[in-house]
Amino acid sequence: MAGSPDRPQARQIPYRDSFAKHNLLTRGQEVMVEVDHSQWRITTLGPGKMSPHYVRLVHGSPPNPSGDRRIGFAIRYIPTDVAQLAGEDSATLVRGEGRDRHFIPGPQPSRDLDLEFVALHRTVTERSARILYRGTDVAS
């Protein structure tokens, strides 16, 4: 994604794709930087708890020993002048006006499990997968 020229872009932390089976990230990304162990903070989250953090915070966790799944949920707030550079993408406008129209507007479902919305969600998910897996042999 690209932003406006008057807003400096934060450099992406170098990483490699591992495609590790038990890594929740799309491509099993692992950072390729030296991490200062004296700066580590261990936080134990109980069931139903969450850990919100800045996207450039190096973070991780050991394997999940429970019989239940671990869920990753990402919300990214971006200014409306930011554009996706690698294909069509969707976004939901949460404030202001989306004058730049860089994203396909994300619709709001009219009711739980609305069949039209479920089908649209599948389309959006497939479109996102093409962006996330670009340059690899993985389709979804």
Q: What is the pLDDT of residue 8?
A: 53
Beta bridge partners of 15: 31
What pLDDT digit, counting tens, does each position of 4-53 carry? 445 455 678 899 999 998 788 889 999 999 989 999 899 888 888 888 88
Cα–Cα distance between 61 and 23 in angstroms, integer? 10
Nearest alpha carbon to residue 48 among 63, 64, 24, 70: 70
